[in-house]
Structure 1
Amino acid sequence: MRTLIAFPCEGETLAATLDEADGSTGLLIVSGGNEIRSGAHRGMAMLAHRLAAAGIPVFRYDRRGVGDSTGENNGFLSAEPDLIAAAAAFRRSAPKVSRLVGFGNCDAASTLALFGRSAGIDRIIVANPWVVQPIDDLPPADAISARYRSALRDPATWRRALTGQVSFTKLLRGLKRVVTAKAEERALLATSVLTALDGWRDDAAIVLATGDATAIAFAARYRGGAKVKRFDTASHSFAGAENAAALHAAIVDGMAHE
């Protein structure tokens, strides 16, 4: 059964959805970016329904200022109180849950890495963790570099260049971004998230979409020992039936580890 829940967070009211089940291990889904709790293309709502049918209770919520929740949206780095309040509300609403696993994609993954311990979460499953703050409208430098290497090996790229189909302005901007990449490699966000992930030790699992710019930027920096599953897709949100099934399997596997 699916239940709508409201709970307090620092004077505001957050909205949540609980997909009920009898299992003692529950999944808390944290939304990334400004995404509402149903997820892109209702992906998180469908994932929750499928997991609950298999006996796993699932709790999803909108942080302050997003979706049905009140308050001001100040971004994921200010979302620690929201996560703590959501975990507490989950436990109150599903008293059979004795073990809590958090799942998040993109900056929601970073939220869990940074603040999950404060919320009493036992294990995290993080997809495409966000570790590079953009300094312009281009993708992270590691993603640009990877794409250039691939493109330059493709004869079609040179044919498009000769026929004027390649934007040299964009090319030069991208190359400049790669040249200056070293300046952002020591960015505070990357250091904070990677250090936080190291603190989870064996209590973290990582899921990466190998063609996604955010995942490429993370993979270029990550040297930790957490289990990493890679899927050959460029879909940041794991859209489509095949990607959704792969994500579901990765979450089920990640939850099974004590």
Structure 2
Amino acid sequence: MRSLIAFPCAGETLIGTLDAALGATGLLIVSGGNEIRCGAHRGMALLAAEVAAKGRPVFRYDRRGIGDSTGANAGFLSARDDLIAAAAAFRAHAPHVTTIVGYGNCDAATTLTLYGHDAGIDRLLLANPWTIEDTDDLPPAAAIRATYRQRLTSPRAWARLLAGQIDMTKAIKGLRKASATRPQTFAARVVATIERWGNAATVLLATGDATAQAYRAAARHLPAQLIETASHSFARPQDQHRLRAAVFDALDAKRM
């Protein structure tokens, strides 16, 4: 059974969706970017229905200024109160839930990392955590390095270079960024927080995704589950299968 729930957050009203089920372990889905709670192509809504059909309740919500919720959208780093309010609403409307697993992709994963303890969330499934603080229009340095490694072995790329079909100004900017060694303070903060979660956090990475590559470059010492895809949202059917398996593994894990 699916129901809409309105709940307060810092003087505004957030709207959430509860897919009810009788299980004691529930899934709290946090949307990334400016996505509404149903997700791209209803992906999060479909995931919620599948999880609930197998006995685990699921709660999704729009943070302030997104979708059906009131207020101003101040971005994922200002979403602490929204996450706390959503977790409280989940518990209030599904009081039999004793364990909450948080799932998010991209900056939603980072929101869960930074503020999940404040919301009383027990375990995390973090897909492609956002660790990038760059302000230019280039991809992350780790993604640039991966791209150039691939191009150096590609005869087609060399042919394009010799034919003058590559923007050399942009290529030089990319090379400079790829070789830079400046400190990534935000990345260090996110990675350190994930490390403190210990076994209660599982990281899932799309190997060909720039956001995932940036995280991997900053967190090579931490374990991660890899999915061989370039799809940031795990859009291919085989990617979706792997994602759902990871979700159920997180739900079925023993409490840490």
* TM-score normalized by the length of structure 1: 0.95
Contact 2:110 2:129 in 1 (8 A): yes
Q: Which whole-Å deviations, capped at 9, do the CAs of 1:149-168 have from their partners, x for residues lacking one?
A: 11111111111222232222
Answer yes or no: is 1:125 the counterpart of 2:112.
no
Q: Name 2:142's counterpart in structure 1.
A: 142
Q: Which whole-Å deviations, capped at 9, do the CAs of 1:122-167 have from their partners, x for residues lacking one?
A: 0001000011112211110011011101111111111122223222
Q: Name 2:177's counterpart in structure 1.
A: 177
**Please, which of 182, 186, 191 is the counterpart of residue 189 of structure 1?**
186
Q: Which whole-Å deviations, capped at 9, do the CAs of 1:14-33 have from their partners, x for residues lacking one?
A: 01111111111000001111
Answer yes or no: is 1:208 the counterpart of 2:205.
yes
Contact 1:210 1:230 in 2 (8 A): yes
Q: Name 2:232's counterpart in structure 1.
A: 236
Contact 1:22 1:55 in 2 (8 A): yes
Q: Which whole-Å deviations, capped at 9, do the CAs of 1:220-243 have from their partners, x for residues lacking one?
A: 111454x52100001111113221
Alpha-carbon separation, structure 1, partners of 2:79 and 2:144: 29
Q: Secondary structure at the match of 1:4?
A: strand
Structure 2's unaligned 5+ residue stretches are none
Which amino acid is 1:52 matched to? A
**Please, which of 240, 245, 248 is the counterpart of residue 249 of structure 1?**
245
**Structure 1 residues 172 and 223, CA gap change in structure 2 (3 angstroms):** closer
Which amino acid is 1:202 matched to? N
Q: Name 1:168's counterpart in structure 2.
A: 168
Q: Name 2:25's counterpart in structure 1.
A: 25
Q: Number of residue pairs matched?
A: 254
Contact 2:9 2:81 in 1 (8 A): yes
Alpha-carbon separation, structure 2, partners of 1:135 and 1:27: 33
Q: Name 1:38's counterpart in structure 2.
A: 38
Q: Name 1:6's counterpart in structure 2.
A: 6
Contact 2:30 2:103 in 1 (8 A): yes
Alpha-carbon separation, structure 1, partners of 2:74 and 2:86: 17
Tell me the C-alpha RMSD between the 2 structures: 1.2
Q: Which whole-Å deviations, capped at 9, do the CAs of 1:66-103 have from their partners, x for residues lacking one?
A: 11111111111111100000000001111111100000
Answer yes or no: is 1:220 the counterpart of 2:217.
yes
Q: Secondary structure at the match of 2:112?
A: helix
Alpha-carbon separation, structure 2, partners of 1:165 and 1:223: 35
Identical amino acids, percent of aligned pairs: 57
Deviation (angstroms), 1:179: 2.7
Alpha-carbon separation, structure 2, partners of 1:165 and 1:256: 52
Q: Secondary structure at the match of 1:23?
A: coil
Answer yes or no: is 1:105 the counterpart of 2:101.
no
Q: Name 1:64's counterpart in structure 2.
A: 64
Contact 1:198 1:224 in 2 (8 A): no
Deviation (angstroms), 1:214: 0.4
Contact 1:144 1:174 in 2 (8 A): yes
Which amino acid is 1:242 matched to? Q
Which amino acid is 1:37 matched to? R
* TM-score normalized by the length of structure 2: 0.96
